[in-house]
Structure 1
Amino acid sequence: MNWYAIFVESGKEEIVQKYLSMYFDADTLYSMVPRRVVPERRKGKIYHVMKTLFPGYVLIKTRMNGNMLHKMRSIPDFYRFVNNGSCYTKEAGEYYCQIREEEMSVLFKLIEKGDIISYSKIKIEESKVYVVSGPLHGLEGTIKKIDKRKKRAKVQLNLLGKEQTVELGIELSVNDSVRF
């Protein structure tokens, strides 16, 4: 079984995921909508909001064939399979590209139970970022920018051959030493 990405109407990812579970059994197809918890500040209060990691996309794991493609096209709000351009051939008639295992393994390191990416605890010392705990632990090289005020980290992920920057929620740990 291979991983694929399907393009759906933005905001309707979970509805498409429910349709997929109705049309296909769990042994045939597994679908996933990765979500992230990020802090949002409204009127001085901080709220922990759940957002979709890749809006408009549903990731599926299946053995793809023409019958499945035909069934999926009948699902409301389903647009098409996401292709990186290198796998479509008229001779083979394939309309879908699989996601490489290396790309999915980084995503699996971030995701915890329930397809949710929670907060990572981060420590900043002398302009160096150290991940103390959380999903970003061991992935320090993918962090491109830290926004201390919004408590978010911009992380670079590679998916379907494209570099994508996503924002993940962080907790900043306070240094134990007091500086004068």
Structure 2
Amino acid sequence: MEEQSNEALWYVVHTYSGYENKVATDLQTMVENRRLQDLICDIKVPVEMVPEIKDGKERLVERKLFPGYVLVKMVMNDDTWYVVRNTRGCTGFVGPASKPVPLTPEEVEKMGVESQAPLTVDFKVGDNVQITSGPLEGFMGLVEAIDTESFKVKLKVNMFGRETPAEVDIAQVELP
């Protein structure tokens, strides 16, 4: 395998089912032991929190988005390929004939693998904001919470003489 580039790209590694976290921690340990932090930059097992009802109680549980796969951001060369490929529980890279194919920037963005720069908003909790689009367009609301991860704002909107809770996209509100 020839040197592909000096840029760290995201690759998908196939693992035995249920071994995703073990492969990720073993690989992280190997990277630290061999001092490869500059070549293998990041290792992720994408998960989401989903509500589950058990014994009549609802609780959030972690669910893997891609069972059987681990995402690795690395500079591909013979050494890094060998380290990842020979991690216990790893069955190989995703690609034709097990030749590693990096994810495209569009795929990385869609999968939400890399966190973008933190979102900055010009309003804060307690501010009155104007709703600029959507079904509540034209209404004013009091900001109760701002969730920059899901790009949502929780508001108390005064409709028909009553305080009504509403949740809208951050892009749908602005300071008056």
Shorter-chain TM-score bucket reads 0.5 to 0.7
Aligned length: 122
Select the structure of larger CA radius of gyration: 2
The match for 1:27 is 38
Within 2, Cα distance between the matches of 1:73 and 1:133?
A: 38
Distance (Å, rounded) in 1 between the aligned partners of 2:58 and 2:72: 33
- Cα contact 1:110–1:136 (8 A) shared by 2: no
Distance 2:67 2:75 in 1: 24
User: Is 1:18 aligned with 2:25?
Assistant: yes
Residues in 2 aligned to 1:71 and 1:110: alpha-carbon distance in whole angstroms: 23
CA separation of 1:73 and 1:100: change in aligned 2, threshold 3 A: same
Q: Would you say the 8 A contact 2:23–2:87 is kept in 1?
A: yes
Residue type of the alignment partner of 1:52:
K
How far residue 134 of structure 1 moved from its aligned partner, in angstroms, is 5.9
Question: Cα 1:50–1:111, aligned 2, differ >3 Å: closer, same or farther?
Answer: farther
Partner of 1:56 in structure 2?
68
Q: TM (normalized to structure 1)?
A: 0.55
Secondary structure at the counterpart of residue 112 of structure 2 = helix
Shift of 1:65: 1.6
Ranges in structure 1 where 5+ consecutive residues have no aligned partner = 89-93, 113-124, 126-131, 139-172
Q: What is aligned with 1:170?
A: none
Gaps (5+ residues) in structure 2? 1-7, 117-134, 136-145, 161-176
